Amino acid sequence: MNTELQQEELQQSRKAKKFNLWLGMIGMFMMFAALSSGFIVYTASGVDKGIKTTLPNAFIYSTILIILSSVTLHFANVAVKNKEYAKQRSLLVATVVLGILFFVCQVHSWQVLIDRGIYFLNINASQSFIYVFTGMHLAHIIAGVIVLVRCFAGTVKPIPHGDNLFRMELATIFWHFLDLLWIYIYVFLLLNQ
């Protein structure tokens, strides 16, 4: 009886955590929708007509890296379902490395923009939106990498299979969301350059 109660409490706790994740992702989506709307309204006002610069090539590389990281994380999630923990660990490491490389590419793209004379505080505020979009996304990438490292830690110091599976599920949902969010940001910026 006691284990049934504990199992029920565990399931309720997991449902609450997953619900909180979805709420957080909806909030992030709304924030980026608001930023997009702000950009559209600002440029439609006639003050600035778009970004007026080509986006750095590092954005293309960033896109490739984040898509690859979603692929490696997908396979890490499959590995944990098959109880292939060594494979899960190596794929998690690959995903974290790709996430860090994504971060490096984004910072490099900022340097490219600065070299072109495009700063965060700029006469053309449309160009400042590049930093706002990418900076907000990078903050979430940092959170995602922390989540992935926590998943990895659960494989090094083994946790129960159900907990490992649940952590991976949440991490995978969040990371795929960040992937889709980046693709949206990149396409949005491309269409408005």
Identify the pLDDT of residue 5. Answer: 81
Residue 1: per-residue pLDDT: 54
Measured on CA atoms in the order 97, 99, 105, 108, is the torsion positive or negative? Answer: negative
Sorted by sequence, the CB contacts under 8 Å of residue 167 that are 6+ apart come out as 150, 151, 154, 159
Cβ-proximal residues to 40 (8 Å cutoff; 6+ apart), any chain: none
Residue showing tokens 């778009």? 50
Within 13 A of 140's CA, how many CA atoms are on the CB side? 24
Pairwise CA distance, residues 25 & 100, whole Å: 21
Which domains are present in the chain? Answer: 2-191 (1.20.120.80)
For the chain, 193 residues long, the average pLDDT of each consecutive 10-residue run is 82 94 96 94 78 89 97 97 95 98 97 92 83 96 96 90 94 97 95 85
CA distance 127 to 151: 37
Q: Quick one: pLDDT at residue 107? A: 96
pLDDT of residue 96: 98
Number of helices (H), then strands (E), in the chain: 5, 0
